[in-house]
């Protein structure tokens, strides 16, 4: 019996297409909000950290962003509320939050205010509400495909980053011109949130769960503690713990995405036009990475991709570091290193998100996914704090390399504990 035959709540093809369109716009906003602060840290340092050395600027920026990433811990609360209040309401709240937080970020006048308003930005992005929509509305055999279709179209967000950067940030732009980068999430996020609350439906599987119609359904957990206890009482407890450990190691490397621009601007000495070109190429590379990830994930499975991208992250940091300090073809090595690093991190992150959703039951899927997001956030914060100390002592490039080494443990954990989840029927997960 297929998922559609077991479901008593159906969605029309036209609504499904409309839902995909809305989720694409959400992902464009999410991807832009997640990434756009990564394309101007050198400009923030130029405005707020004048007089400090390159290593000191890197250390302070890493510390500032690390403090701000505490906002990501509230993603866990967002997703617990998704199990309590519904996917639709939380999709609205997180979309609105991304727009409003960008407005506050533009108002910052020093590094302390920047840190506070960046904290607000981190409260709402990467909440995974759109991903839960896809996983609960798409057919099991097409789940990874539709996920990566949304991601591929949504990568328009990162593509817009170099376009806006080349407009607002040039060799002749005034200090503080980076604030123009906040206009896009302000103008998209607030109107889109209104459209969502007025036109989107709750997911069919969530409605079925609320109505008690899922096969072998458990009662909806009424407390946070019960949800957590139930997650770790399942037969797949070891698998889930392994996924959370891998997510932590993945999160450590988010510092690469956020401070690679600062590294190439201060260490390699590239002009703004070349940095903009690097960001263009990276955006295109990430699109190709998402598309290939979707195809491979549905063809040969999730585990091989965990192996590949965990190792690729380390390789990328080596290429970037040695290519930027000793190679005559410095621009080429920077492009390869940064592009591979972005592809490795983003692709590993999405594979871990997909697998987590495929091992957690519907009534706790938001909580399980939220816990993964929380643990990833802990890794991200740890990565910035560790990276701050390493950058001050050895430089940012060495910090990138050392922080990527724990990803080799992911290969061992995936091999020993993970079972392949491609084609999983989410309604039957228990």
Helices (H) and strands (E) in the chain, counts: 21, 0
Residue 137 lies in a domain: yes
- Residue-range definition of the domain harbouring residue 417: 13-200+224-428
Residue with tokens 């100390």: 389
Residue 107 lies in a domain: yes
Residue 264 lies in a domain: yes
Confirm if 420 and 305 have CB atoms less than 8 A apart.
no
pLDDT at 106 exceeding the cut of 50? yes
List Cα–Cα distances, 301 to 78, 130, 161, 416, 418, in angstroms: 29, 22, 32, 16, 11
Whole-angstrom Cα distance, residue 24 to residue 155? 9
CATH of the domain at 397: 1.20.1250.20
The reported pLDDT for the residue numbered 220 is 44
Residue 274 lies in a domain: yes
143-154 vs 272-299: helix crossing angle, rounded to 10: 170
The domain tally of the chain equals 1
Residue 216 lies in a domain: no
> What tens digit of pLDDT does each residue of 52-101 get?
999 999 999 999 999 999 988 876 677 778 877 888 888 999 999 999 99
pLDDT at 239 exceeding the cut of 90? no
Percent composition of the chain: helix, strand, coil (DSSP 3-state, to 5): 80, 0, 20
Give CA torsion, residues 23, 28, 32, 34, to 10 deg.
30
Q: What is the mean pLDDT of the chain?
A: 85
Residue with tokens 């369109």: 21
Q: What is the mean pLDDT of residues 154-159?
A: 80
Residue with tokens 């439906």: 201
Residue 212 lies in a domain: no
Share of the chain above pLDDT 70, in %: 90
Confirm if 243 and 352 have CB atoms less than 8 A apart.
yes
- How many C-beta atoms surround the C-beta of residue 303 within 10 A? 19
Residue 142 lies in a domain: yes
Residue 241 lies in a domain: yes
pLDDT at 284 exceeding the cut of 90? no
Confirm if 165 and 318 have CB atoms less than 8 A apart.
no
């Amino acid at each position: 019996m297929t998922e559609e035959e077991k479901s008593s709540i159906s969605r029309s093809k036209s609504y499904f297409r409309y839902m995909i369109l809305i989720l694409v716009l959400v992902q464009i906003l999410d991807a832009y909000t997640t990434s756009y602060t990564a394309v101007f840290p050198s400009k923030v340092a130029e405005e707020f950290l004048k007089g400090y050395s390159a290593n000191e600027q890197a250390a302070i920026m890493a510390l500032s962003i690390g403090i701000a990433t505490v906002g990501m811990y509230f993603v866990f609360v967002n997703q617990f509320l998704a199990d309590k209040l519904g996917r639709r309401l939380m999709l609205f709240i997180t979309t609105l939050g991304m727009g409003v937080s960008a407005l506050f970020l533009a108002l910052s006048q020093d590094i302390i205010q920047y840190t506070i308003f960046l904290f607000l930005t981190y409260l709402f992005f990467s909440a995974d509400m759109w991903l839960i929509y896809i996983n609960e509305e798409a057919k099991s055999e097409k789940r990874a495909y539709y996920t990566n279709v949304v991601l591929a179209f949504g990568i328009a967000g990162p593509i817009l980053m170099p376009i806006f950067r080349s407009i607002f940030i040039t060799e002749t732009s005034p200090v503080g011109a980076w604030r123009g980068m906040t206009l896009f999430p302000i103008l998209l996020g607030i109107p889109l949130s209104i459209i969502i609350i007025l036109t989107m439906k709750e997911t069919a599987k969530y409605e079925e769960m609320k109505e008690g119609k899922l096969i072998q359904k458990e009662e909806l957990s009424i407390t946070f503690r019960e949800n957590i206890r139930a997650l770790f009482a399942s037969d797949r407890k070891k698998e889930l713990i392994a996924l959370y450990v891998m997510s932590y190691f993945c999160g450590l490397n988010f510092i690469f995405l956020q401070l690679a621009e600062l590294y190439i601007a201060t260490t390699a000495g590239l002009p703004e036009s070349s940095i903009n070109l690097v960001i263009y190429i990276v955006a295109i590379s990430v699109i190709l990475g998402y598309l290939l990830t979707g195809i491979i994930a549905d063809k040969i499975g999730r585990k091989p991709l965990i192996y590949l991208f965990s190792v690729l992250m380390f390789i990328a940091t080596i290429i970037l570091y040695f290519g930027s300090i000793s190679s005559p073809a410095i621009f080429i090595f920077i492009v390869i290193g940064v592009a591979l690093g972005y592809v490795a991190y983003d692709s590993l992150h999405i594979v871990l998100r997909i697998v987590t959703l495929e091992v957690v039951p519907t009534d706790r899927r938001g909580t399980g996914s939220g816990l993964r997001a929380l643990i990833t956030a802990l890794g991200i914060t740890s990565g910035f704090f560790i990276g701050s100390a390493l950058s001050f002592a050895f430089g940012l490039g060495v910090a990138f390399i050392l922080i990527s080494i724990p990803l080799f443990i992911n290969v061992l954990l995936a091999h020993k504990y993970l079972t392949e989840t491609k084609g999983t029927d989410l309604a039957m997960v228990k």
